[in-house]
Structure 1
Amino acid sequence: MRHTKLMFAALAAVTVTAALAQSSQPVIGLITKTDTNPFFVKMKEGAQKEATRLGAKLLTAAGKTDGDNAGQVAAIENMVAAGAKTIMITASDSKAIVPAIAKARAAGVMVIALDTPTEPASAVDALFATDNYNAGLLIGQWAKKAMGNKKAVIAAMDYNPGQPVGVLRHNGFLAGFGVKGITPTMLTQVDTSVVCSQNSFGDQAKGQTAMENCLQKNPDINLVYTINEPAAAGAYQALKAAGKEKDVLIVSVDGGCAGVRNVEAGVIGATSQQYPLKMAAMGVTAGVNYAKTGKKVSGYTDTGVNLITNKPVSGVKSQDGKYGLANCWGQ
């Protein structure tokens, strides 16, 4: 009888210990702009892999479409209510999301921006992201060399107007191409070298429509800057339909597997590769550390960028498509 009581006591102790361990499991949230864009799919993959490795519980959510601020606000509120102590977010609207972030931080939640800075940057505890201005700078420098003495007639497949990622990449491209007076944060998205600027919202179908509009405006376009590779793919389809795909150089940013394959196929001349898996994994690691120690991360961490092209030019460091495929959105 005494042995039986001891056995039950031991089982109860194990149950209590397991319950305590479960209750102390770090809960971390990840909110992306959408759950369909391959970039964010990879980000989610990186977060889940790191959360599993570190024994954390990952909550995920996304806007219905890119630009769905209300959906992201609701996701923040739901995650705070579910006990998340760290929330990572790629903000669809860098300004409108700030009040919701402030409420979460006031409740003791550490908030980390991934990929997209908030406005102001101090609205979050930390930012893990590509240097988007540098990403644009690299493709601009490459395009300048690749065009040689040919006069550039530029079309820009831009992003949601005024959003930091779009502004930084666009302005970096122009600065890299040699346009004078460009600064990282200036809101100008056109200049005398750009004959057409359209908002593609980073979407392939909208990128195709945007390129069609630009070709109607100026059929002599010979260089196309695109905010990302889905927009680049859309622009290429429009150029191909017009019989101009061999006469126009396309540059982009992202470095996803599909995008690098388009570099290999000659659809995209060069792209700047970034690493969303790394951003998310670093965010989860920081979240688990915060749960254990109460220490928050702060400031900006550059998660790296590499120019990917099979047509290297002098003076611009790059990696080839083979490297790009081996590292697409990973590292």
Structure 2
Amino acid sequence: MTHDRTARDRTPQRRRRAALLMAGTLLLGAAACGEGRNSTGEGGHELTIGLVTKTETNPYFVTMSKAAAAVAKKNGAKLIALSGRFDGDNEGQVAAMESLISRRVKGILITPSNGTGVLSTIAEARRQGILVIALDSTTQPPSATDATYATDNVQAGRLQGAYLRAALAGRPPKVIMLDGTDDSTVSEQRHDGFLKGFGITNGSPAIRGQANTNGERNPAQTAMENLLERTSDINTVYTINEPVAGGASAAIAARGLTRKVTIGSIDGGCDGIRDVKSGMYAATVMQFPVTMATRGVDAVVEYARSGKKPHGFSDTGTVLITDKPVDGLASQNTDWGLKHCWG
């Protein structure tokens, strides 16, 4: 009997303690929600943005990643940067996107290696309400993403081609073409643009050799050395980007052909502009990865705040840089280039 009475006496105390504990839990939960909310987040969660580049080693994509991280931080957001293992690693980019989708990011910025290789993954991201923006390269079709901020890569190739043709000053063209990879949209667009600007077509006898380089210096140097084993009777080299131009220049210099061969490129990195200034190659076409990254991150932040989505293709610009200008083709010199370069 005594035991039963004691239990009944303690019941109100237990109830009071339980009520106080519940009230404390609710207060702590409310405080946590208030502390977790920021200017761009939703429901107390930090705004997270994903970036998927082609590689993590190319200076161009390193610059893009750093710029995106800086803009995200300025807006109180977090950037998760992933990449493929090499230019053309479509499977790596798909895996990176799937990882970002599982992390429930608000937006994904991607530089697609292959214009069609990531379409199903992009569609799944958009189905889940994730804003997807292409940077640097378009998907095929471009409407697969919400928007694109990129170089007009056909125009970049065309500028390089027009410059190298004019630099021949009427001499018969003897061309080597150093591309990226077979399944790269950018490689195809720049290649086709160069042919248009230079005034030839695939299969032309003016093309003395062609090789893929994965957009990297060492493979480009090896490829150029191999092509020169077949013929050294060349006067023009097209390169997809500045690392490739550096590799090509090294191989040409080793054969004592520097004064006979004019090399062009595309990128506009500070190292590339210095290479043009030193005479390693004659010209480069500057593009603007910082602008791409900045506009991409800003668009995701705006989407998180207001629900407003960007649409369509936005050309972020191209400028021909050379200290040996040609008639009829607008350009800037390397002093201007060093003031506006990246990296």
Is the structural similarity TM-score above 0.5?
Answer: yes
1:148 equivalent in alignment to 2:166: no
1:319 equivalent in alignment to 2:332: yes
Whole-angstrom CA distance in 2 between matches of 1:162 and 1:67: 7
Whole-angstrom CA distance in 2 between matches of 1:100 and 1:16: 32
Within-5 A mapping of 1:38-117: 38-117=59-138
Shift, 1:281, TM fit: 0.7
1:211 corresponds to which of 224, 236, 243: 224
Deviations 1:134-182 (A, max 9, x none): 1111121111221102111000001101422111111211211223xx6
Match of 2:191 in 1: 170
TM-score, normalising length: structure 2: 0.87
Whole-angstrom CA distance in 2 between matches of 1:26 and 1:226: 39
Question: Unmatched 5+ residue regions in structure 2?
Answer: 1-25
1:220 corresponds to which of 222, 233, 241: 233
**Secondary structure at 1:134's aligned position in 2?**
helix
**Secondary structure at 1:244's aligned position in 2?**
coil
Shift, 1:100, TM fit: 1.2
Question: Unmatched 5+ residue regions in structure 1?
Answer: 1-8, 183-187
Output the amino acid matched with 1:96.
Answer: G
Match of 1:241 in 2: 254
Whole-angstrom CA distance in 1 between matches of 2:130 and 2:256: 53
Whole-angstrom CA distance in 1 between matches of 2:76 and 2:233: 56
Shift, 1:24, TM fit: 4.2
Alignment: residue pair count: 315
2:37 corresponds to which of 10, 17, 20: 20
Output the amino acid matched with 2:339.
Answer: A
Whole-angstrom CA distance in 2 between matches of 1:129 and 1:237: 30
Shift, 1:296, TM fit: 1.2
Match of 1:5 in 2: none
Whole-angstrom CA distance in 1 between matches of 2:70 and 2:195: 37
Deviations 1:3-57 (A, max 9, x none): xxxxxx9998664311233634321110101111000000011101111111111
**Secondary structure at 2:109's aligned position in 1?**
strand
Output the amino acid matched with 2:36.
Answer: A
Deviations 1:215-239 (A, max 9, x none): 1222101100000011111111111
Match of 1:191 in 2: 204
The farther-off stretch of 151-160 and 23-32 is 23-32
Cα root mean square deviation, aligned: 1.9
Q: Percent identity at matched positions?
A: 45
Whole-angstrom CA distance in 2 between matches of 1:59 and 1:52: 11
Whole-angstrom CA distance in 1 between matches of 2:325 and 2:301: 41
1:298 corresponds to which of 311, 314, 326: 311
Shift, 1:295, TM fit: 1.5
**Rg larger in 1 or in 2?**
2
Whole-angstrom CA distance in 1 between matches of 2:52 and 2:79: 11
4+ runs of 1 displaced by more than 6 Å? 9-13
Shift, 1:121, TM fit: 1.7
The farther-off stretch of 197-206 and 160-169 is 160-169
8 Å contact kept, 2:52–2:83: yes
Match of 1:185 in 2: none
8 Å contact kept, 1:140–1:173: yes
Whole-angstrom CA distance in 1 between matches of 2:257 and 2:206: 20
Whole-angstrom CA distance in 1 between matches of 2:198 and 2:223: 22
Shift, 1:203, TM fit: 0.7
The farther-off stretch of 264-273 and 85-94 is 85-94
8 Å contact kept, 2:86–2:214: no
